[in-house]
Structure 1
Amino acid sequence: MTEDRFYHALKVSEDLCFGCTHCMNVCPVEAIRIENGKATIRDNWCVDCGECMRVCPVNAIYVEQDDFNQIFRFKCRVALVPSVLIGQFPAEVTEAAIFSVMREMGFTHVFQTEHTAGYIIRSMIEASRDAEDKPVISSFCPAVVRLIQIKFPALLPQVIRIKPPIDTSAIYFRKRLENEGYHPGEIGIFYVTPCAAKIAAVKSPVGEDSSPLNGVINMDLIYNKIFRLIKNRTNRNSISPGEMLPLLSPRSIKYCLTGGEANAMEGRCLAIDGIHNVIEFLEKLENDEFTDLDFLELRACDQSCAGGVLVGGNRFLTTERLNKRAQRFHGVADIPGDVKAYSGFLSERISLGDIKPRSMLILDEDMGEALRKIQQVRHLMCYLPGIDCGACGAPRCQSLAEDIVREEARLTACVFIQRMMEKHQKLSGEHAIKIIEKIWGRKRLEKNCNKKGAENDSE
């Protein structure tokens, strides 16, 4: 990946997309436009929150994933498993049985992502105590970090520079395997991801030159594989030979849920989930409406990772199951002994590098030119109707005005402007139709009884 572009995991199937605008209207960063009757995603704006995927009525938006068979390129094949995967299964299915099936699928090792969560919390508390700007903001959710980069760059200094469990656990376990005699090139670590944002974080990490992981596996894919194998067993909880994993503490089990960080930090802490709730709160924070907060846990998904777009189960049931599992392990230490033994090694590698702003709001790098373009946008808004109908292929009139200034659209994309120009004989009806066809596709205005909701809709 080049530094000037984001990788994003959400893709649009042109065969399925019919340009309904549901995704465009729900996108929190206005990264989607309609072109030739299809949704398009702007790479540098998308934060991979997955809101577009949730609302697509025809499943035209999907998450790109790595081939599962890539794990077999490595002698030592590690599945890095977040606790939210365990929360997908009924209470009677044990963790040991799940990990046993994963070894049967081809992994030589299974390791729990939150194994280093206690160490991370301790590091975050220390960093928070030393921070000059409060509140400090968690770096756990990659969608939120990217959101701050592009929409709230002034708040970047407050993002805590501590790596999340996905990175810290990968670094720790890789070192452990090397100490056991494995050559670095023999070790492949693959994260089982509940969301698209963590795929993007592995493919183009923020604050680091490269990721300690070798790939990602979508949670919905691996869950279905595991559950199918477990159901076919006579004894669902039978265990094949292999390493028994250490127990996680209750706090570590619940780390991926809303409040997982905030409940462990010092001072006045808030946990906010849901990307639109996060944006609303960050806007207030940017306007200095809060002065007495110490720590913010911000998660893009409702119920945090339990609500990730790749989590197949109900997010509320998943949360309930994890809370019940956590109760069973009362008394387990937050920082396991094996992690303590590597604390010196981890302390040198747990810090994130510089997180650079990538503001989508900047119309030009030159300040003087940017101010001139802002004035252009304001001038264009005098002519645009302010209805935000989306018929121009942009989510709002303001978005269209900004696209025009960026030379990515024309004023005539607005159907209301077209009508006024036709009235004053400055635009022909034939030309107006061609403009609409360019945005919505040639056959969009033709009668079609097979489209969704029409007479012959098969659904």
Structure 2
Amino acid sequence: MDRNTKYHALKVDTEKCFGCTHCMKSCPTEAIRIVDGIAVIDAGRCVDCGNCLRACPVDAIYVVHDGLSQIESYKYRVVLFPSVFIGQFAEVYSEGQIYEALLKLGFTHIFEVEQPVEWLMESIKESRDEVTDGPLISSFCPAIVRLIQCKYPSLVNNISHRKAPHDLAAHFAIQQLKAQGASETEIGIFYITPCSAKMAAVKQPVAEKKSIVTGIINMKDLYNRIMKLIPKHEHIDTTEFRKYLSKEGILWCLPRGETSWYRKKTMAIDGIHNVVKFLERLENNDVPQFDFLELKSCNQGCAGGILLTGNRFLTVERLQKRAARYPRANQITTAEWNKEDVKEKLISEKIEPRPVFVLDENRVRALDKIQKMNKILCQLPGIDCGGCGAPNCHALAEDIILGKARMSSCVFLQKKYVKEQKIKPEKAYQNLEKIWGEKRFDADCNKKGGRNEGF
């Protein structure tokens, strides 16, 4: 994919969207505006965190993913999934039953991505010296990596240059199959993703030219398929597929899953709005010194991913119980995988900043625009109602400076301008229609909103 074209897994269904502003107000990067009554996502600002999808009351925001039929193009069909996938299922279903259902779906090999995680964490610890100023920041959550790239570019050099567990697991699976005589062209690697950010990370990786993963599958979609196929009892021994999975690996994607491996001063934060508040303080040198930061976009880590079907707290409890009773994992031997070869595959390319929260690339002009924006803010009401189609008054002021909106976009200033006879009432109404659509203000008892939104 062209590096200049930003891929995003999140899309808006214009037939369902009615511009309720819930998504716009939940977006941590203010990437959404309402235009002609429909939510429009700014590709430059979107980090694929999925907050908009979670907030939408009518399922107007959806994710684009690869269909399951594509696996038939490969002789060896490897399915990769994080441990939270198992946590979706009630405890009456065993791992073996779930694995057996995956085989029924057509996969030939199954691999939980946290199996070689011990080698990954060892490599992350060794990379601490690569950061000379401030803490090392985990690169595990792609939404956080993109957030730092666009909103906190000064912290980009603190991000660990290590790939995610699914990349490492994919390399391991390919090497195992090649050792058995498989050709690399015959192998298809398919990752079951719990979130839209990982979809975007596979389709357009931040720190590598192309992902080793062949395709991505929606976890919610696969869960529903498995529930139709899951056997009442285990008929096949599938323990060989997970013999390297450790207790620590099972908990890796949950809060403190990474920091528990790190014995120095660490901090684990989950929930993207919590992360934003912390990064603001970190960028301003307003936090104590830490050696390692584990930052996850979703509440309760990957257990809160937008593509999971179950309650995140139940998922966490199930994974904790699973880890507590789990047997000791087998060690990956050097005969199975050369450790030096692994270290080389773990290292990602340099992550580049891509700041989008700038008014002008020229510093002098940018400062001038900031002053003008502050003057505009003095005239705006500061109510942050969203009636202008922007999430708040500050965002509207920024849009005005960038030529994307006008002062008359504010519904309160419109009333003032009409009273002062600066604009005609007809013109003020036309301005509202540009934002909210031509028929938005017609009486309609079936209109979505308020009590009809399904909460």
TM-score where L is the length of structure 1: 0.94
1:407 shift after superposition = 1.6
1:154 shift after superposition = 0.7
Larger deviation, residues 342-351 vs 208-217: 342-351
- The alpha-carbon distance between structure 1 residues 452 and 251, as it changes in their structure 2 partners (threshold 3 A), is same
8 Å Cα contact 1:82-1:112 kept in structure 2: yes
8 Å Cα contact 1:34-1:40 kept in structure 2: yes
- The alpha-carbon distance between structure 1 residues 249 and 371, as it changes in their structure 2 partners (threshold 3 A), is same
Letter paired with 2:25: N
Larger deviation, residues 409-418 vs 427-436: 409-418
1:119-138 pair list within 5 angstroms:
119-138=119-138
TM-score where L is the length of structure 2: 0.95
Q: Does 1:387 align with 2:418?
A: no
The residue number in structure 2 matching 1:140 is 140
Among 335, 345, 348, the residue aligned to 2:341: 345
The residue number in structure 2 matching 1:49 is 49
Among 295, 302, 305, the residue aligned to 1:305: 302
Q: Distance in 2 between matches of 1:78 and 1:325?
A: 23
Q: Distance in 1 between matches of 2:418 and 2:241?
A: 74
Letter paired with 1:255: W
1:52 shift after superposition = 1.1
Q: Distance in 2 between matches of 1:314 and 1:63?
A: 20
1:65-214 pair list within 5 angstroms:
65-214=65-214
- The alpha-carbon distance between structure 1 residues 149 and 421, as it changes in their structure 2 partners (threshold 3 A), is same
1:4 shift after superposition = 3.0
Q: Distance in 1 between matches of 2:366 and 2:406?
A: 19
Letter paired with 2:108: T
8 Å Cα contact 2:303-2:316 kept in structure 1: yes
Q: Does 1:272 align with 2:269?
A: yes
The residue number in structure 2 matching 1:320 is 317
1:432-443 pair list within 5 angstroms:
432-443=428-439
Letter paired with 2:229: L
Q: Does 1:452 align with 2:448?
A: yes
- The alpha-carbon distance between structure 1 residues 75 and 153, as it changes in their structure 2 partners (threshold 3 A), is same
Larger deviation, residues 170-179 vs 256-265: 170-179
8 Å Cα contact 2:96-2:238 kept in structure 1: no
Q: Distance in 2 between matches of 1:454 and 1:166?
A: 42
1:238 shift after superposition = 2.5
- The alpha-carbon distance between structure 1 residues 88 and 46, as it changes in their structure 2 partners (threshold 3 A), is same
1:242 shift after superposition = 10
Q: Distance in 1 between matches of 2:204 and 2:8?
A: 8
1:266 shift after superposition = 2.5
Q: Distance in 1 between matches of 2:4 and 2:392?
A: 26
- The alpha-carbon distance between structure 1 residues 134 and 228, as it changes in their structure 2 partners (threshold 3 A), is same
1:57 shift after superposition = 1.1
8 Å Cα contact 2:20-2:449 kept in structure 1: no
1:456 shift after superposition = 9.1
The residue number in structure 2 matching 1:412 is 408
The C-alpha deviation readout for 1:346-380, integer Å capped at 9, x for no partner, is 11121111111111211222222222222221222
The C-alpha deviation readout for 1:403-446, integer Å capped at 9, x for no partner, is 12222222221112212221221211111111100100001111
The C-alpha deviation readout for 1:96-144, integer Å capped at 9, x for no partner, is 2211211111111111111121110100111124532231110000000
The C-alpha deviation readout for 1:153-195, integer Å capped at 9, x for no partner, is 1111111111110111112222332333222222111100000
Among 366, 375, 393, the residue aligned to 2:362: 366
RMSD: 2.0
- The alpha-carbon distance between structure 1 residues 414 and 116, as it changes in their structure 2 partners (threshold 3 A), is same
8 Å Cα contact 2:110-2:241 kept in structure 1: no
Q: Distance in 2 between matches of 1:454 and 1:52?
A: 18
Q: Distance in 2 between matches of 1:37 and 1:228?
A: 39
Question: Secondary structure at the residue paired with 1:114?
Answer: coil
Identity of aligned residues (%): 47
Letter paired with 2:402: R
Q: Distance in 2 between matches of 1:171 and 1:369?
A: 48
Among 251, 256, 260, the residue aligned to 2:257: 260
Letter paired with 1:26: S
Question: Secondary structure at the residue paired with 1:436?
Answer: helix
8 Å Cα contact 2:111-2:241 kept in structure 1: no
8 Å Cα contact 1:449-1:456 kept in structure 2: no
8 Å Cα contact 2:6-2:43 kept in structure 1: yes
Among 290, 293, 312, the residue aligned to 2:290: 293
8 Å Cα contact 1:135-1:295 kept in structure 2: yes
8 Å Cα contact 1:135-1:296 kept in structure 2: yes
8 Å Cα contact 2:80-2:111 kept in structure 1: yes
Letter paired with 1:182: A
Count of paired positions: 455
Q: Distance in 1 between matches of 2:412 and 2:2?
A: 40
Unaligned runs of 5+ in 1: none
- The alpha-carbon distance between structure 1 residues 161 and 412, as it changes in their structure 2 partners (threshold 3 A), is same
Unaligned runs of 5+ in 2: none
- The alpha-carbon distance between structure 1 residues 360 and 201, as it changes in their structure 2 partners (threshold 3 A), is same
- The alpha-carbon distance between structure 1 residues 367 and 206, as it changes in their structure 2 partners (threshold 3 A), is same
Question: Secondary structure at the residue paired with 2:415?
Answer: helix
8 Å Cα contact 1:269-1:294 kept in structure 2: yes
1:229 shift after superposition = 1.0
1:10-25 pair list within 5 angstroms:
10-25=10-25
Q: Distance in 2 between matches of 1:400 and 1:174?
A: 50
8 Å Cα contact 1:101-1:240 kept in structure 2: no
The C-alpha deviation readout for 1:248-283, integer Å capped at 9, x for no partner, is 110011111111100111311111100111111111
Question: Secondary structure at the residue paired with 1:349?
Answer: helix
The residue number in structure 1 matching 2:352 is 356
- The alpha-carbon distance between structure 1 residues 153 and 362, as it changes in their structure 2 partners (threshold 3 A), is same
